[in-house]
Structure 1
């Protein structure tokens, strides 16, 4: 069997790949030889700062609002081949803002509805390449997050969508799987990682004794998209340092 993680000649697209987990994953695939496209909400790659965790060197950048189906449709038209699609888009609203219907809907649109739009738009290319889809969910799919009902519902929904698309598209040669990260140090989690009391309390609950790094998730994506994971379909892999144990 092919045990390499060689992605030379492969085309990868990461929705939400301009920062955080998506960006680390993009650079990991580039390091393994892939042509990597990433999306973000800003006008150009020059609007991102490496100091904020955005390394766009060697990547093909596209401005896309994941909440806008038309943007995703226009992105699809730029591709004539795709081997790996990674949906890493996401947002969260704190201070109980998600209890407001408008905000609840906004988070659901970005974190859940856009997943179906993205995967549906690229389905034909993925079928042609016998490719892979990876959906980034969260360990929030497995427990309550009292202040964030939309985030929780969307991530739980992402896990269900992964399961269903995995079963629906496996006969077409498309493997759909997901990753459920625990606490990973990104801009989105600064509310916890920059708060010493919250950070230390969380670390005490993690058997590995540390907060996760985006590179931890990137390695898992490399595996799931490779022949090494060729018999894995519809699964959402928990990667949380043992937190949920």
Structure 2
């Protein structure tokens, strides 16, 4: 099992204050990594659950929020989890809601990957990037136009960066979570009709938990995934297979 160990590695996890990001940060720490838990709000709760960790205040409305850290410290693993969602009918969707979501979910993700890649290439090392995509990297969804566009973009950028950087020893992959019980899905779970429709479609018969994503992230961040490049791994209870 040594190939799954992250001992001696440093991992930056964005949006690590709660939900999927918190679960991934805790799992990476459990596999031996030193974790930098970054978020717009306090990550103290996350850090308290990890043997070797620190918090970093970052607001990814600024696409270069992580550039200074990535340029000044050796980070071996980058997990781009920070993201937001806005819901409205497409005929009512505002330009502000479009821009806010695209800036955090796609623009900041690219420039964070760019800063990480520059640093790894400059030191002649290797690295792992795990982007958090979505089922809406493959499907259209309902009432979330900017989120859908951003997550399609995340899948595309994951493949593009893998094409450019695989030869340099940087693995770039993504996880596409299914319907996970987090703050982002509160509105769906609170709607009885939508909740039932979603559950009826999931072969596993339940909403996922943030912990369901964590094991996949450890795998993609580890040496066990050395020959995995440009993959978008669905962790969805079978949703896309239905």
1:104 aligns with 2:104: no
1:193 aligns with 2:192: no
Once the two structures are superposed, residues 23-78 of structure 1 have per-residue CA deviations (whole angstroms, 9 ceiling, x without a partner) of 10000011111100011112x445xxxxxxx533133111111121343223334x
Distance 1:31 1:196 in 2: 36
Unaligned runs of at least 5 residues, structure 1: 47-53
1:6 aligns with 2:2: no
Partner of 2:216: 220
Partner of 2:147: 151
Moved over 4 A (4+): none
Given candidates 68, 75, 78, the residue that maps to 1:85 is 78
Distance 1:159 1:152 in 2: 11
Report if the CA contact (8 A) 2:63-2:103 is conserved. no
Query: 198-207 or 147-156: which moved more?
Result: 198-207
Query: Structure 1 residues 148, 131: closer, same or farther in 2, change over 3 A?
Result: same
1:121 aligns with 2:115: yes
Pairing of 1:152-167 with structure 2 (within 5 A): 152-167=148-163
- Tell me the CA shift for residue 224 of structure 1: 0.9
Unaligned runs of at least 5 residues, structure 2: none
Partner of 1:56: 47
Query: Structure 1 residues 129, 106: closer, same or farther in 2, change over 3 A?
Result: same
In the alignment of these two chains, the number of paired residues is: 235
Query: 100-109 or 118-127: which moved more?
Result: 118-127
CA RMSD of aligned residues (A): 1.8
Partner of 2:69: 75
- Tell me the CA shift for residue 120 of structure 1: 0.9
Distance 1:37 1:72 in 2: 11
Report if the CA contact (8 A) 2:4-2:219 is conserved. yes
Given candidates 217, 226, 233, the residue that maps to 1:237 is 233
Distance 1:55 1:38 in 2: 7
